[in-house]
Structure 1
Amino acid sequence: MSASSAPRPFSTRRVAGLIRKEVRQVLRDPSSFVVAIILPALLLFLFGYGVSFDPRHYDLGLVIEQPTPETGSFATSLTNSPFFDVEISRDRRVLEPQLVAGDLHAIIVLPASFSEEAYRRHSAPLQLIVDGADPNTANLVEGYIELLWVNWLEQESISRGNAIAKPPISIEHRIWFNAELASRNYLVPGSIAIILTLIGSLLTALVIAKEWERGTMEALLATPINVTELLIGKLTPYFILGMGSMGLSTLLAVIVFDVPLRGSLFVLVGISAIYMLTSLGQGLLISTLTRNQLVAAQIAILSSFLPAFYFSNFVFELESMPIVLQWVSYAVPARYFVSSLQTVFLAGDITSILLFNAAALSAIAAAFFAITLLRTRTRLD
Structure 2
Amino acid sequence: MIPYGRQSLDQADIDAVVEVLKSDWLTQGPTIERFEAAMAERCEAGFGVAVCNATAALHIACLAAGLGEGDWLWTSPNTFLASANCGRYCGADVNFVDIDPLTWNLDVNALEHKLENAEREGKLPKVLVAVAFSGQSCDMRAIAELSRRYGFVVIEDASHAVGASYAGRPVGCGEYADMTVFSFHPVKIVTTGEGGLVLTNSPERAEHLRRLRSHGMTRDPVQMDAPSHGPWYYQQVELGFNYRITDMQAALGLSQLNKLDGFLTRRRQLVARYQALLADLPLTLPTPQPEAESAWHLYVVRLQTERLQHSHRQIFEGLRAAGIGVNVHYIPVHLQPYYRDLGFAAGDFPQAEAYYAQAISLPLFPAMTDEQQDFVVDQLRRLLTDAQ
Q: Give the TM bin, normalised by the shorter chain.
A: under 0.3
Q: By percentage of residues, which structure has more helix? A: 1
TM-score (ref. length: structure 1): 0.23
Q: By percentage of residues, which structure has more strand? A: 2
TM-score (ref. length: structure 2): 0.22
Structure of greater Rg: 1
